[in-house]
A = this chain, B = another copy of it.
Amino acid sequence: MLYMLDLFGTGVFAITGALAAGRKNLDLFGVFVLATVTAIGGGTLRDMALGASPVFWITDSGYLLVAGGGAILTVLWARFTAWSPRALPVADAVGLATFTVIGAGKALELGAAPEIAVLMGVMTGVAGGMIRDVLCGEVPLVLRKEIYATASIFGGTVFVLAMRFLPYDALSTWLGVAAALALRLAAIHWNLSLPVFTHIDLRSGPDGGR
């Protein structure tokens, strides 16, 4: 069940990557790269940091297949309509919640401390989208606004605490997914954002702020 959700999230993230490629007029190879990087980039960085080698999609080609399928589906869909599916943000929230808990769980399995596990959950959830935005020449959206990473941090924290204090791992997993999903859907519905930090450095000479 969690594996199915994982593949579902992979496909949804791939679609958002392919849509970003469409906005930037990339060619078909670019569509595949952005779809793939968005879908598996976060988990790849997580595995590299944890030293879990080889990274997860090397031994299970299913992830790449699903990501490629998402890219093809997006290009075909765009032939018929300029409207992205209305359910996309909701599907994306499901992917974010799933990736978070899977990432945090993998870190715990490998013996990481609880706070590191939460961090690995967030990295799994948001780093792929950050690489997508950097490849598009943009400052990553997740750094600028919205309760997106915050939902991931919240879900990861709930999951890690539950793993510590609850007797059933499956229950902890679903609690974590539910927590991240609930906060993200609330943020979409009420359009919630984090406060922005604006700072103009008056001493910004040649070395200022290095």
Question: Which residue of B has the minimal Cβ distance to A92?
Answer: B210
Q: Is A24 an interface residue (CB 8 A)?
A: yes
A143 to B146, CA, bound (A): 28
Interface string of A111-127 (1 = CB under 8 A from B): 01101100100000000
A78 to B168, CA, bound (A): 45
- A19 B199 Cβ-Cβ under 8 A: yes
- B197 A25 Cβ-Cβ under 8 A: yes
A113 to B83, CA, bound (A): 37
Q: Is A64 an interface residue (CB 8 A)?
A: yes
Copies in the complex: 3
- B64 A119 Cβ-Cβ under 8 A: yes
- B139 A139 Cβ-Cβ under 8 A: no
A residues 18-49 touching B (CB-CB < 8 Å): 18-31, 33-34, 44, 48-49
Contact for A82 among B75, B140, B199, CB less than 8 A:
B199
Q: Is A1 an interface residue (CB 8 A)?
A: no
Question: Which residue of B has the minimal Cβ distance to A96?
Answer: B210
Q: Is A167 an interface residue (CB 8 A)?
A: no
Residue from A24, A44, A86 with most neighbouring chain B CB atoms (10 Å)? A24
User: Which residues of chain B have C-beta atoms less than 8 A from A78's C-beta?
Assistant: 197, 199
A193 to B30, CA, bound (A): 12
Shortest 4 CB-CB contacts between residues of A and residues of B: A51-B53, A22-B199, A30-B143, A27-B194
Instruction: Using A26-B196, A58-B116, A64-B119 as known contacts, list a sample of 4 further A-B pairs with CB atoms less than 8 Å apart, ordered by residue number in A.
Output: A23-B199, A27-B145, A29-B148, A84-B203
